[in-house]
Structure 1
C-alpha cells in the first residue's frame, strides 16, 4: 500500500451534516465524532448535501418518500405534498457523480429521504407508512456509480460493518491508483493476484468466478473486462466476511508457510486460527502471527496479499472482529 496516498488522504464523500455543517431541514447538524476524530486522519472528506444542492433552503420544510410498493418513490414535501423535488434531486445527483468519479467511498446520513442507505420510510399517497427503501441520492449513486463503497455513519458502530466499509475504500483506492490510472491486462491481473485472499475471505464463489473470468479476459476489450471485473469484485467485498470465511482464507495463507516453518510453529499458527474460529480471540491475533512468519519466510506473492494488511493497522479495525 502506497503511504503517499494515505498521507494525502483518500477522497471520500460524506453527507455534509455529518461534518457538523448546519444543513439539515431544521438548521441543525449530525456531527460524527468517529468521522472527524478518527477517519479524517486518513480520509480527505468531501461534504455534500443533495437537498441543499437541489435548492432547498435552511431551514426548510421537511421532505419524505412517497409511493407504492414496487415503484420508485417520489420525494415530496411532508407538509405540502405539492412540493415535488424528485427531478431536481435526480439532476444534482447525476451531476455529483459526473464530477466525483475520483471518490473511493461515501458515508451517508441514516434515515434521510435523500441520503439514507436503507430502511428509509416510504409513505403511501394517503399518508400512511407503506414500506422502506433507499434515499433518492443513494439510488442515483447505485445506478450511476455502482462500484462506489457506501455506508451509513450509524451502521459503522457495528465493528464488522465498519471494517468492511473501510476495507472496500482501501481496495477501491488500490484499483484507482494502480489499475485505472494506467489500464492494462497486466495491471488487472496483478490487482487480482494481490487481492485474491481478501476476495476469498468475503465470497469464495466470486473468488473462483473472477479467476475463471480473467483466464479468458484477454480475448475481451480491456475496458469491458475492467468494468465487469470491478463491479463483481466490489459487490463481493460488499458481503461482510465471517469467522468461517476468514478461517478459510487464513488456512490458505498458512499453506504457503507449511514447508518453511517447523512443526511446533505450525501448531502454534493452527492453534491461533482455531482460537479465532471458535470466537476466543479477535482476527488480529492469527493475522499478526501469520504476518510475522510471512515476512520472514513467505514468497513475494504471499507477502503482497492485501488480506494481511487491507487498511492501516493503527485504525485497529481487526482488534474487535
Structure 2
C-alpha cells in the first residue's frame, strides 16, 4: 500500500502563496516523492482566498481567542471559514502517515508563527497555524514537520523514521486491531524505540503487557500516539551505542574474540564521535548475514526506512 503524505501545496511547488509564489522543497520533490503519494492542500485557497491575495496573520483578540485576519484590515476575519473547512477535511486525512507543512504560515505553520494583538502589536513568534493546530489536535499521533526544518539532516532523518513507522503500524492493523498484531509489531520496534527513548521503551512494554485493561480502539490509538511521541526524540550517540551493544549480544556465541573486539571498538569509537553510525551498523549487518537471527533480522532499527534515502549516511 502506498504511503500517503499530506503536504502544503506550495511546498510541492504550486504557485498558491499570497504573492503568487511557492516554497518548493527539493527533498520532498526529488528524494521523497518516488516513495510516497502526496495529498496536497492549500487551506487558504480552499476557503476561497485568491492568488495573489492580501496577506493574513494570526491575531489574539481581547477574549484571548486566536483569529485568522487580513493583515491590513483585521475586520476581515477568515477564522470561521478556516475552522469549518478543516473540520470537514479532517476525516479524509485519517489515511495519512505524515504531513509536511509550510513554515511560518498563519494557516499551516507548525510552530513559531508570528502572533499579533488586536492593536496590531507583535506578541512574538509563539503561534501555530490555525489549520495545522486543528490537524495536530485531531491526530496527535501523526508525524508533522515543516519544510524549512527538513533542511536539518537530523530532523529530516527523524521525521522520515516516524513516517515509515507510522505507515508500518497502519499496515499491520489493516483488517482490524488485535493484541496479537500489536505484540508482533512491538517486538519489531523495541530497539528502535530504545534508541530514541529508553523511558518510552519501558513504558510501551508495560502498555502492551497490560493490553487487556483497554478497549481495542483505545489501546490502538494510545500505543501509536505514545510510539510517535517516543520516536520524535532525537536518538543520541549514547543511545544508539546502547542499542548496538544489545544487538551485539545476540552474536556473542557466534563471533570469535577478534571479531567481538573489532565490533566493540567500532561501537565505542562511534559513541565518542569519531565514526558515523554506518560504521558499526555495517559491520553488525555483515556478521548478522553470516550468523542469521530471525528476531534480530526483523528489527526495524536496522532498516527504519528505504536505504535509497541515504539518511543515516
Q: What's the TM-score once normalised by structure 1's chain length?
A: 0.93
Q: Give runs of aligned pairs for residues 41-52 of structure 1, distance below 5 A.
A: 41-52=34-45
* Counterpart-to-counterpart distance in 1, 2:231 and 2:174: 18
* Counterpart-to-counterpart distance in 1, 2:81 and 2:122: 24
| Alpha carbons 1:68, 1:130 under 8 Å: kept | no
Indicate yes or no: 2:143 matched with 1:134.
no
Indicate yes or no: 2:152 matched with 1:155.
no
* Counterpart-to-counterpart distance in 2, 1:180 and 1:87: 36
Distance 1:215 1:70, change over 3 A: farther
**In the alignment, what sits opposite 1:124?**
117
| Alpha carbons 2:237, 2:270 under 8 Å: kept | yes
| Alpha carbons 1:179, 1:191 under 8 Å: kept | no
| Alpha carbons 1:256, 1:298 under 8 Å: kept | no
* Counterpart-to-counterpart distance in 2, 1:94 and 1:193: 36
Q: Give runs of aligned pairs for residues 21-100 of structure 1, distance below 5 A.
A: 21-67=14-60, 71-100=64-93
Indicate yes or no: 2:235 matched with 1:241.
yes
Q: Which blocks of at least 5 consecutive residues in structure 1 are unaligned?
A: none
**In the alignment, what sits opposite 1:196?**
190
What's the secondary structure of 1:31's corresponding residue? coil
* Counterpart-to-counterpart distance in 1, 2:121 and 2:175: 49
Distance 1:165 1:224, change over 3 A: same
**In the alignment, what sits opposite 2:96?**
103
Indicate yes or no: 2:306 matched with 1:309.
no
**In the alignment, what sits opposite 1:267?**
261
* Counterpart-to-counterpart distance in 2, 1:160 and 1:258: 32
User: Offset at 1:181?
Assistant: 3.8
| Alpha carbons 1:257, 1:298 under 8 Å: kept | no
* Counterpart-to-counterpart distance in 1, 2:62 and 2:243: 40
Residue-by-residue CA offset, 1:61-89 (whole Å, 9 max, x unaligned): 11111117994521111011011111211
What RMSD over aligned residues (CA atoms) do the two structures have, in Å?
A: 1.6
User: Offset at 1:267?
Assistant: 1.1
Distance 1:143 1:70, change over 3 A: farther
What's the secondary structure of 1:114's corresponding residue? coil
What's the secondary structure of 2:80's corresponding residue? helix
**In the alignment, what sits opposite 2:283?**
289
Residue-by-residue CA offset, 1:104-146 (whole Å, 9 max, x unaligned): 1011111111111111111122111103121111111111111
* Counterpart-to-counterpart distance in 1, 2:150 and 2:220: 30
Q: Which blocks of at least 5 consecutive residues in structure 2 are unaligned?
A: none
| Alpha carbons 1:69, 1:130 under 8 Å: kept | no
* Counterpart-to-counterpart distance in 1, 2:62 and 2:144: 24
> Number of paired residues?
312
| Alpha carbons 1:94, 1:144 under 8 Å: kept | no
Indicate yes or no: 2:181 matched with 1:187.
yes
| Alpha carbons 2:62, 2:118 under 8 Å: kept | no
Match of 1:276 among 256, 270, 273: 270
